[in-house]
Amino acid sequence: MPKNNDKIIESKDEILANVLWKLLELRQFLTSSHTHTAWGSAFKKALTTLKSNTESHHEQLFSALELIRFGYLNGNNLSRSYYTPPNATTEEKKYILLISRTLSLVPAKFKGVSWNGPLSRELLAFNSFVKAMNRSLRNLCEMLTLSMFLNGDCVKDRQDYLDIALSLPFLYDVNTAMGIIVKTYLEHVIILSKDNNDKAAIRSHIPEALKKLDGTFTGCINVKADLENGLVFWDEVIIAVNSLKTSGAISNELASQFINANNWLSSRRP
Helix (H), strand (E), coil (C) string for 141-205: HHHHHHHHHHCCCECCCCCCHHHHHHHCCCCCCCCCHHHHHHHHHHHHHHHHHCCCCCHHHHHHC
Other CB atoms within a 10 A radius of the CB of residue 103 amount to 27
pLDDT at 112: 86
Give the predicted TM-score (pTM) of the model: 0.93
CA 53 to chain CA centroid, nearest Å: 17
Residue 110 pairs in a beta bridge with 220
pLDDT at 3: 54
Q: Which amino acid is at 264?
A: W
Percent helix, strand and coil across the chain, each rounded to 5?
60, 0, 35
Going 73 to 235 to 170 to 168, the CA torsion angle's sign is positive
pLDDT at 231: 97
pLDDT at 123: 94
pLDDT at 53: 60
63-100 CB burial, b ≥16 within 10 A, e <16? bbbbbbeeebbbbeebeeeeebbeebeeebbbbbbbbb
- Shortest CA distance to 155 belongs to which of 17, 12, 22? 12
Q: Extract the residue ranges of the chain whose pLDDT is less than 50.
A: none
Residue 220 pairs in a beta bridge with 110
pLDDT at 85: 75
